[in-house]
Amino acid sequence: MDKPAAPSLSRIADVARRAGVSTATVDRVLNRRPGVRAMTQQRVLTAASELDYMPAEDLMAAMRPKPMRLLFLLPEGTNRFLSSLGQLIAHSDGRLAPFNVRCQVDTIKSFNPELLARRLWQSRDKADGIAFMALEHPVVREAVDRLAEHGVPTVTLISDILNARRAAYIGLDNRSIGRTAGYLIARFLGERAAKVAMIAGSRSYRAHEEREMGFLHVFEELFPSIKVVGLREGHDDADRNYRQTRMLLGQHPDLAGIYNIGGAADGVARALKEMNRERDVVFIGHGLTSDTRGFLLDGTMDAVITQNQLNTMMSCVGIFDNLRAGRSAMHGIEAPRSEIIFRENIPALGS
């Protein structure tokens, strides 16, 4: 009796013929190289399975999508809210495992649009999506548009950019936030005439510019007896905020309120304490951190406007997951909500 013929080994050409693609495409799919549409990948893998081209475990590995590489590009410096957000992202592998993503956090010198635009474009082949704090500038807008054409979506974080092809914005309504800060200061001061001042990170951030506009408008509209005496830029740097605060208090000894539009509240607080003004100057700022918690508790700060860092991170990841799945960017994503924290309602650590 003749022996049964041994089963023939399927070759790449057979898989290509069955899937209706080229052998080069089969090679790209089976070796998990980019550049092949998801539908085509599925046809190739199905053909390989039907022809028993590869062991089941290898086929399952090939069918499993690669983790999505996400880059969070955050400003470096002494803004503790942003640095703690970066630490949260960097240590969230377990929390993000169900999304099949890998997150990397890079820092970049703040307030330099050319550098930001260059870093964005240089990251085009290293990330499948980029979340970053935008500067309002033509070269940044151009970089975002080029990334979109290259197939790399971007999400603006905390501060947005207009008329650019970013996929979404995750941040607060900053004009409303500025109005809220002004309203809080006015209510703390009561009916008396007074002077207040602002310290911004930089008006190159649309978020800071919009907060300034809202702050100014609420006094013009509702509290005309309160005079805003000026705006200083501290670039979210503690030492610079310290110097700006001392200068403001020197020029306006009767200053009754300070709104720190950006970060580095510790610089403002240090100046207030050194000049023994922490009890009579209403101080409103942003971002609940270990520093601002302490300033609320000791009475140096009167209120902190903040947003939940975990929700911010998860919203960004959810947006990129939506885009990968072909859903609209904001499908199932809630807009961030602001929280106003006083000494009496400080959340427990870790909550």
Residue scoring higher pLDDT (13 or 228)? 228
pTM: 0.82
- Over residues 317-347, the pLDDT tens digits come to 999 999 988 899 999 999 899 999 999 999 9
Structure-token match 């959810």, residue found = 318
Axis-axis angle for helices 23-30, 12-19 (nearest 10)? 100
Q: Strand 168-170 vs strand 303-306: parallel, antiparallel, or unpaired? A: unpaired
How high does pLDDT run on average in the chain?
91
**DSSP letters along 92-151, please?**
-HHHHGGGTEEEEEEEE-TT-HHHHHHHHHHTTTT-SEEEE-----HHHHHHHHHHHHTT
Closest alpha carbon to 167 in 319, 332, 326, 327: 319
Of 228, 239, 158, nearest to 198 (Cα)? Answer: 228
pLDDT attached to residue 350: 65
Q: Is the distance from CB of 186 to CB of 180 less than 8 angstroms? A: no
pLDDT at 60 over 80: no
- Helix segments in the chain, DSSP class H: 12-19, 23-30, 38-50, 56-63, 80-90, 93-96, 113-122, 138-149, 174-189, 206-222, 238-251, 265-274, 290-298, 309-324
Structure tokens at 68: 């999505």
Q: Which helix (H) or strand (E) holds 229?
A: strand 226-233
Question: Contact, 203 vs 212, CB < 8 A?
Answer: yes
**Does 72 score more than 60 pLDDT?**
yes
Q: Which of 280, 233, 279, 278 is nearest to 260 (CA)?
A: 233
CB 250 within 8 A of CB 217: no
Written as one letter, the residue type at 183 is Y
Task: Please return the burial class of 19, using the count of CB atoms within 10 Å of its CB with bins 0-12, 13-18 and 19+.
Answer: buried
Give the separation between CA 42 and CA 44, rounded to whole angstroms: 5
**pLDDT(2) > 70:** no
Looking at the chain, how many residues does it have?
351
Contact criterion met (CB below 8 Å) for 148 and 222: no
DSSP assignment letter at 196: E
pLDDT digits (tens, 9 = 90+) for 235-282: 999 999 999 999 999 999 999 999 999 999 999 999 999 999 999 999
**pLDDT, mean of residues 181-202:** 94
Pick the range with the lowest mean pLDDT from 70-84, 115-129, 207-221, 276-290: 70-84
